[in-house]
Structure 1
Amino acid sequence: MNDATRTELEAAAFRALVHHLMVKRPDVQNIDLMNLGGFCRNCLSRWYQEAAAERGIPLSKDEAREIVYGMPYADWVALHQTEADDAKKAAFDKAFAENVGPKQV
């Protein structure tokens, strides 16, 4: 397989993942994704933003999140995010530290 084809397939897989998370399973909470998988929709948007920056393409955090969420982040939160209990929040802090790094205050 050549590099161009691999890139096209990887892009298609990314689009399918985003579609699955946003259209088919918006009920799956970011905190659950992070706690179980070590990443969430915000991670995807950050990776997208970092990839753009590596190529000299300016992309704000909000713009990257809108690409991944399919809408402004605040709108998605209002429509889909539920309150997490203390156990999930504690697990999130641990998963975040292990997979992303220290939380920025």
Structure 2
Amino acid sequence: MADSIIKDSVAATAFRRLVAHLQHRTDVQNIDLMGSAGFCRNCLADWIAEADGGLTKDEARAIIHGMPFGEWKDRHQSEATPEQIARMKESVAKNADNH
């Protein structure tokens, strides 16, 4: 339904703002995004790669992270706790109804 309501130019502007926000908030772990929302920076990048058809997942992840994913991971990603992994699994399971 949102596709028919939001103009592409508005969606693009909001998307760029989301990407900038996620690049700024390196304190928020991907595992926590997964646990709360059922998606993370990597998911967003994968969706971009799928939609584009010409980007690899690594190229799309570099766009979303603002640097190669391995570098982002080394700088900002900590080891996931068992609690974070459990929340992520529970949250991701809810995605099945949306695909």
TM-score (norm. length: structure 2): 0.84
Post-superposition offset of 1:14: 0.5
CA distance in structure 1 between the partners assigned to 2:26 and 2:56 by the alignment: 23
- Aligned partner of 1:40 in structure 2 is 40
Aligned positions of 1:1-105 closer than 5 A: 6-23=7-24, 25-53=25-53, 58-99=54-95
Post-superposition offset of 1:96: 2.8
Report SS of the residue matched to 2:55. Answer: coil
For structure 2, which runs of at least 5 residues remain unmatched after alignment? none
CA distance in structure 2 between the partners assigned to 1:61 and 1:70 by the alignment: 14
Post-superposition offset of 1:90: 1.8
RMSD over aligned CA atoms reads 2.0
CA distance in structure 1 between the partners assigned to 2:46 and 2:36 by the alignment: 19
Post-superposition offset of 1:87: 1.1
TM-score (norm. length: structure 1): 0.79
After TM superposition, the runs of 4+ consecutive aligned structure 1 residues lying more than 2 A away are 93-100
For structure 1, which runs of at least 5 residues remain unmatched after alignment? 101-105
* Percent identity of paired positions between Structure 1 and Structure 2: 49
Q: Which has the higher contact order (CA 8 A, sep 6+)?
A: 2
Matched residue count: 93
